Amino acid sequence: MKRVQFAVSPEIRVGGSVFTPTDMVAIGQIVGEDAQIELSIFQQLIVEMNEEKADDAKKALREKGLCVYETGSVVKNLSVCSFCKGAEIEGLEAARNLNDTIAGMAVPFTMRVGYTGCPNACGEPLVKDIGIVKRKETFEIYVGGQSKTMEAKTAELLVEQVKEEQLSSIVQSMITLYQTQGKKREKFFKFVERYGLENVRKELGLSS
């Protein structure tokens, strides 16, 4: 019998990407004892189960308030801080809107986007493919971070003083550019290096 995989994560909330005991019980009951569950580095649980039961399981998980995503070369769900200063101050709703906009988009290579609600950057956004830092009432967007291998590097500032209503659109446009101009299996930071940061700004209409 064919088995398939999908990812499960909690709703973004104060505390960050936190599974509650109720969430964990629901996941276990819904996917069943035959499923295999693996904790990934992307703040996700990867569920492997029989294909014929997967669609019903995904629907039931969503009804419990959990988020379900595809695996593979897609934009992963948003990696977030814990919103320790409060939902309104650190932009919880902005983070949720961004996640709803970009999570699951197909890309040349697996992509991670980080969000942090203050300049302390507890969510480590500057070592993500795209990083968002909230500063008071506006946001900074960084691109091209890399945390692994000998090529580890800090992301570069793409644009600052972004208003909340612009945030999701700009990040989505950045990912769309990578979709259309990136090479197969080309990591995002390599794409930024090849394409050029200033060219990215021009394509997105961000140049002064």
Output the tens digit of pLDDT for each of the chain's 208 residues: 899 999 999 999 999 888 999 999 999 999 999 999 999 888 799 999 999 999 999 999 999 999 999 999 999 999 999 999 999 999 999 999 999 999 999 999 999 999 999 999 888 999 999 999 999 999 999 999 998 878 889 999 999 999 999 999 999 999 999 999 999 999 999 999 999 999 999 999 997 5
- pLDDT for the residue numbered 208: 57
Q: Long-range contacts made by residues 52-57, C-beta under 8 angstroms, separation at least 24?
A: 52/1, 54/4, 54/6, 57/30, 57/31, 57/32
Let me know: does 109 contact 73? Beta carbons within 8 Å.
yes
Please tell me the distance from the alpha carbon of residue 18 to that of residue 66, in angstroms, as a whole number: 11
Please tell me the distance from the alpha carbon of residue 199 to that of residue 64, in angstroms, as a whole number: 43
Task: Read off the tokens for 97.
Answer: 């809107």
- pLDDT for the residue numbered 149: 76
- Quick one: which of 193, 103, 182, 197 has its CA closest to 141? 197
Q: CB 138: neighbour CB atoms within 10 A?
A: 14
Rg value, the chain, Cα: 18
